Amino acid sequence: MFYELNDQQKEFQKRVRSIYEREVSPLVEEYERKGTFPVQLFRVFGEEHLLCLRCPKEYGGPGLDKISECISMEELNRICVGIGAGIMVQGGLATDPILHFGSEELKRTYLTPAVRGEKIGAFALTEPDAGSDAAGIRTNAVKHGEGYRLNGYKTYITNGTICDFMTVAAYTNPSKRGTGTNLFVVERNDPGFSVIKKLEKLGNHSSDTAELAFDDCDVPRWRMIGEQEGGGLEQLEKTLKSGRITYGARSTGVAQAAFEDILSYVKRTQRRGEPLRRSQATRFILAELAMSVEVMRYTTYRGAYLFDQGVATMKDASIVKLFCTDSLQKIVQKAMVLQKSAGLMIENPVQRYLRDARLFKFTEGTSEIQHLVIARELGL
Ligand SMILES: Cc1cc2nc3c(=O)[nH]c(=O)nc-3n(C[C@H](O)[C@H](O)[C@H](O)COP(=O)(O)OP(=O)(O)OC[C@H]3O[C@@H](n4cnc5c(N)ncnc54)[C@H](O)[C@@H]3O)c2cc1C
């Protein structure tokens, strides 16, 4: 049973907080304004062993547990969600399938450089006509010579324009809906691959999001993840299970940031000649926010603990994602309402938290999809 972080995890938390405050905080405003990802951070985090935290030592990773990954993601997203998105994809969606199902050659060629920050990864599942319905994708991979020829489109892909490689979902057998898929590693310089356009978003401005095309894009056989055709669905499920727990940590990080801001605002603000902190209504709101942030954090740690024990189900992961992303919406709304017009000003980070938080309800499975997953495991 999980009760508290151990000494090693507490030390790790202190270390990552100070690294992110030193390396990320000074970049946030500039890169949010420019709408680009500060790619130099991949090398910085690689040297600090903060990429792909669950990757074992034999492939160059620190071999930490899911709880540590959540600690790191909470601290990074407390500072910047957009930058958190690119780093999360690197250590999760892009490399998890290679870590768990890839050949030795795939691990040495992509995972180890990703851990060092020498190569940037992306994950391409979503298509213009297939988001929530992953089995509805149309990208196909047809046997061609010694490998496969990929054709199709992908959209909303994080790290899409900055990546060196991407893990791409495609049908090898379209007659088997869902189960006929495989994941392939495509390199950005592979002929037939192109970026259609970079996308601009409501929030996460410093994360890179793009629409991609695969037009007779030839991929050698060894870059298919897994031994046989089919099996892509199982690989996706394991990857998404881990990712949905990470969203608990990301949400907790933003909630913590919003809470710290509003607490400081209430402590320094006077309304009608009285310190705002004397108002009982305000004190009750702050007490509720503090409670929500704690419950989000422990819900996330519980999910991560179950994941580390190898017993987390898709329902466990969906509960973490749904509860934490929903709680976050309420927290950022309250933080905005308490500050009134001041909260709407661009220099006030609360407006950024509100925009960034909204996106959490869509990415890595929408809230409706989390409801469906939970209901399905309840036998409904
Ligand atoms: C900033 C950002 C980054 C992203 N990064 C990536 C990435 O790196 N890689 C990647 O592959 N994808 C990525 N995505 C895509 C993301 O995972 C999808 O947007 C998401 O899966 C939803 O798909 P959709 O937007 O096409 O919505 P749709 O699936 O079209 O859904 C539209 C609405 O209908 C609801 N809905 C759908 N099906 C059902 C149902 N059966 N029952 C009830 N309601 C339903 C949904 O909840 C939603 O509200 C990203 C998206 C964003 C916004």
Superfamily of 233-377 according to CATH: Butyryl-CoA Dehydrogenase, subunit A, domain 3 (1.20.140.10)
Distance from the CA of 244 to the center of ligand 1, in angstroms?
13
**Per-residue pLDDT for 3 more than 80?**
no
Give the model's pLDDT for residue 340: 82
Report percent pLDDT > 70 for the chain.
Answer: 99
Residue 22 binned pLDDT confidence (cut-offs 50, 70, 90): very high
Token pair, residue 257, equals: 């940031």
Question: What are the sequence ranges of the domains in the chain?
Answer: 7-116, 121-229, 233-377
Distance from the CA of 133 to the center of ligand 1, in angstroms?
8
Mean pLDDT (the chain) is: 96
Beta bridge partners of 220: 147
Q: Which of 133, 138, 157, 363 to probe ligand 1 with, by most ligand atoms within 8 A of CB?
A: 363
Q: Which of 80, 83, 123, 126 to probe ligand 1 with, by most ligand atoms within 8 A of CB?
A: 126
Q: Is 364 a known active-site residue? A: yes
Cα 232 to Cα 72, 96, 130: the distances in Å are 28, 13, 16
**Per-residue pLDDT for 4 more than 90?**
no
Q: Is the CB of 369 under 6 A from ligand 1?
A: yes
List the residue whose alpha carbon is closest to atom 16 of ligand 1.
Answer: 363
Q: Is the CB of 246 under 6 A from ligand 1?
A: no
Distance from the CA of 315 to the center of ligand 1, in angstroms?
18
Nearest C-alpha neighbor of 350 from the set 365, 362, 340: 340
Q: What CATH architecture applies to the domain 121-229?
A: Beta Barrel (2.40)
Q: Is the CB of 77 under 6 A from ligand 1?
A: no
Q: Which of 4-8, 30-34, 45-49, 367-371 has the lowest mean pLDDT?
A: 4-8
CB-based contacts of 184: which residues, under 8 Å, 6+ apart? 141, 148, 150, 167, 168, 170, 219, 223, 224, 225
**Per-residue pLDDT for 1 more than 80?**
no
**Per-residue pLDDT for 2 more than 80?**
no
Query: Could you report the per-residue pLDDT of 84-142, keeping only the tens digit for each?
Result: 999 999 999 999 999 999 999 999 999 999 999 999 999 999 999 999 999 999 999 99
Query: Could you report the per-residue pLDDT of 229-275, keeping only the tens digit for each?
Result: 998 988 999 999 999 999 999 999 999 999 999 999 999 999 889 99
CATH number of 7-116: 1.10.540.10
Do 233-377 and 121-229 have the same topology in CATH?
A: no
Give the model's pLDDT for residue 342: 85
Distance from the CA of 186 to the center of ligand 1, in angstroms?
22
Report percent pLDDT > 90 for the chain.
Answer: 94
Q: Is the pTM of the predicted complex or chain greater than 0.85?
A: yes
Q: Is the CB of 156 under 6 A from ligand 1?
A: yes
Residue 17, amino acid: R
